[in-house]
Amino acid sequence: MTPAERLLAIAGAEVGYLEKASKAQLDSKTANAGSTNYTKYARDLDKLGVYHAHKQGFAWCDIFVDWCFVQTFGLEVALRMTGQPKGGYGAGCTESANYYRQTGRFHRSGPQPGDQIFFTYTNGQTMAHTGIVERVTGGRVYTIEGNTSGASGVIANGGGVCRKSYSLTYGRIGGYGRPDYSIAEEEDDMDLGRFKELWREMRQELQDNDSSGYSEKARAYFIEKGLVQGGDKLPDGSPNYMWEDVLTREQFVTVLYRVLEKLGLL
């Protein structure tokens, strides 16, 4: 698969996802549906520090596009491909379009699969909605978009991930950003050293106390009973339990040993 095809496979798998009424069940496609802009996409990118501030609860069409890139290519490569700095303002459509402009990768016609499509109500001065070009055929551009609906035309803040299509002459199309897919092609030539480096980076991003609400009682109980003990201190001085990091066999048998000891079975 080409890098663009890989991106589209990730985006296509998300079709049918609905934003949530609260921060619960963010990973379910349809459960807890609501209209408050809570999504797994913002949650995941907030954890990675992609934007200048947390974006959970904000309109999320551009966040969805960025999430698809990060899921497909990893954070560092995704940002380079789309011209965004880490901690920048790319969660907004106008800002994302400007990042493409700054790298000379924004155009008003000739879309290709894998391009980021932008929609406008101001003749391109500002952008109001965005998605990913899936294919171009028969004088129409077909897209996968987040925070939209299946209704015809541009539907910004529509609450779901949908496939849509527009005439290539549709007046609301503000232009297209073309990611630098050559960067992903270079990254495909990965050796063991580069893989280990990326693995270490991923582990560092996971080694904190972020975790889902459903496990709160269980985590508190295991801490109180001394069954799980924190590692190195976090910057605020609190123990680091690394809740979302991978579990080694060594850690597993250690916790199991403590449980059996508490039960008097040793």
Does 68 or 264 have the greater pLDDT score? 68
Q: Can you tell me the mean pLDDT for 177-194?
A: 79
Does 227 or 162 have the greater pLDDT score? 162
DSSP line for the chain: --HHHHHHHHHHTTTT-B-BSSSTTTTSSSTTB-SS-B-HHHHHHHHHT-BSS--TTS--HHHHHHHHHHHHH-HHHHHHHHTPPTTBSTTSHHHHHHHHHHTT-EESS---TTPEEEE-SSTTSS--EEEEEEEEETTEEEEEEEEE-SSSS--TT-SEEEEEEEETT-TTEEEEE---HHHHHHHTS--HHHHHHHHHHHHHHH-SS---GGGHHHHHHHHHTTSS---SBPTTS-B---TTSPPPHHHHHHHHHHHHHHTT--
Question: Is pLDDT above 70 for 189?
Answer: no
Q: Can you tell me the mean pLDDT for 243-264?
A: 87
Question: Is pLDDT above 60 for 217?
Answer: yes
Question: Is pLDDT above 80 for 195?
Answer: no
User: Residue 244's pLDDT is what?
Assistant: 81
- Rg of the chain, C-alpha, whole Å: 21
Least confident segment among 24-33, 137-146, 235-244: 235-244
Least confident segment among 18-32, 152-166, 187-201, 241-255: 187-201
- Label residue 190 by pLDDT band (50, 70, 90): low
User: Residue 103's pLDDT is what?
Assistant: 96
What does the block give as tokens for 131?
Answer: 């998605």
- Label residue 209 by pLDDT band (50, 70, 90): confident
- The CA-atom distances, in angstroms, between 126 and each of 69, 130, 223, 243, 261 are 23, 12, 50, 41, 63
Q: Can you tell me the mean pLDDT for 22-26?
A: 96
CB 140 within 8 Å of CB 166 = yes
Domains and CATH numbers, the chain: 3-184 (3.90.1720), 207-262 (no CATH)
133-157 confidence digits (pLDDT tens): 999 999 999 999 999 999 999 999 9
Q: Can you tell me the mean pLDDT for 31-60?
A: 97
pTM of the predicted structure, to 2 decimals: 0.72
pLDDT more than 70, % of the chain: 97
User: Residue 188's pLDDT is what?
Assistant: 58
User: Residue 214's pLDDT is what?
Assistant: 82
What does the block give as tokens for 113?
Answer: 């699969």
Q: In degrees rounded to 5, what are phi and psi of residue 81?
A: -65, -35
- Label residue 234 by pLDDT band (50, 70, 90): confident
- d(CA 15, CA 145) in angstroms, rounded, equals 8
Least confident segment among 37-51, 206-220, 243-257: 206-220
